[in-house]
């Protein structure tokens, strides 16, 4: 089970890290679009291309920006969860023991994350199919066509998050209910545990004693 968890973990991590390099062309596309929009020569050249081909360089660049944003977002969810880089609103969980945190995570994965991800994979495939049959394209007539291509990233992204959730689910179950050896190995790969060293706890009594006598 742990070997299978490692395999799907690598799938989500390697894909997310590889796709993260798209941030580099995204930066250049944004810079190019913003800067050249004010240069008359570039605007005239772009207008000529639009007249000749029916596609606008400016609109294509704008479409590419949110397309790449979408790819980065969908493909990075999995590695974000595995590395605990996503936002957690933890008021009570973060101060609990590792076993209590694992039980909370197990409940969330079984009854919330996994059912939700299965539903989203199913619905996103429907959206891609509908987009393909409708021949959906850019909202702008001179933008990027084939909108279903970018929408394909939704089911792929949700599958990667599902893989990350399954890996974490297996490790959590093994940590809680496996043998001592396997439990130790699973704990080493679980990254949602709170690092108590970065959570300084000062009791009310310590706070009072730290103040000068005149301020107590």
For the segment 39-51, what is each residue's pLDDT rounded down to a tens digit?
A: 777 777 777 776 7
The whole-model pTM stands at 0.82
The pLDDT score that the predictor gives to residue 71 is: 94
pLDDT of 196 higher than 50: yes
Residue carrying structure tokens 């609990």 = 96
Q: At 205, is the pLDDT very low, low, confident or very high (cuts 50, 70, 90)?
A: very low
Residues 76/155, Cβ–Cβ less than 8 Å? no
Long-range contact pairs involving 50-57 (C-beta distance under 8 Å, separation at least 24): 50/142, 54/142, 55/142, 55/143, 56/140, 56/142, 56/143
The pLDDT score that the predictor gives to residue 39 is: 75
**Per-residue pLDDT tens over the stretch 103-117:** 999 999 999 999 999
- Listed ranges 87-91, 92-96, 169-173; the one with the highest mean pLDDT: 169-173
Is residue 88 within a helix (H) or strand (E), and if so which, with residue range? none
Structure tokens at 13: 């991590």
pLDDT of 37 higher than 80: no
In the DSSP assignment, the letter for residue 107 is H
What sign results for the dihedral spanned by CA atoms 76, 77, 82, 88? positive
Q: At 211, is the pLDDT very low, low, confident or very high (cuts 50, 70, 90)?
A: low
Residues 166/103, Cβ–Cβ less than 8 Å? no
pLDDT of 204 higher than 50: no
Residue 164 burial (CB count, 10 A): 25
Least confident stretch, 25-29, 39-43, 70-74, 83-87: 39-43
pLDDT of 53 higher than 90: no
Comparing 58 with 76, which gets the higher pLDDT?
Answer: 76
Residue 28 has φ and ψ, to the nearest 5°, of -65, -35
Q: How far apart are CA 183 and CA 172, in angstroms?
A: 9
> What is the maximal distance between C-alpha atoms in the chain?
82
| C-alpha of 132 from chain center | 25
**Per-residue pLDDT tens over the stretch 121-149:** 999 999 999 999 988 887 776 677 888 89
- CA angle in degrees (0–180, nearest 5) for 12-130-138: 85
Closest CA relative to residue 9, chosen from 140, 17, 124: 17
Structure tokens at 124: 């996103």
């Amino acid at each position: 089970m742990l070997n299978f968890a490692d395999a799907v973990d690598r799938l989500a991590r390697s894909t997310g890290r590889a796709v993260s390099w798209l941030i580099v062309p995204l930066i250049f596309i944004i810079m190019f679009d913003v800067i050249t929009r004010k240069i008359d020569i570039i605007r005239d050249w772009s207008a000529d291309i639009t007249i000749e081909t029916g596609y606008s360089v400016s609109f294509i660049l704008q479409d590419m920006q949110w397309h790449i944003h979408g790819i980065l977002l969908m493909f990075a969810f999995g590695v974000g969860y595995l590395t605990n880089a996503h936002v957690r609103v933890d008021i009570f969980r973060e101060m609990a023991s590792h076993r209590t945190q694992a039980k909370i995570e197990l409940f969330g994965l079984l009854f919330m994350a996994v059912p939700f991800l299965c539903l989203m994979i199913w619905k996103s495939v429907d959206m891609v199919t509908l987009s393909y049959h409708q021949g959906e394209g850019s909202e702008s007539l001179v933008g990027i066509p084939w909108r279903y291509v970018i929408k394909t990233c939704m089911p792929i992204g949700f599958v990667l998050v599902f893989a990350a959730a399954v890996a974490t689910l297996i490790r959590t179950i093994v940590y809680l209910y496996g043998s001592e050896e396997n439990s130790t190995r699973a704990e080493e790969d679980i990254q949602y545990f709170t690092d108590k060293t970065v959570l300084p706890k000062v009791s009310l009594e310590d706070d009072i004693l730290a103040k000068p006598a005149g301020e107590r």
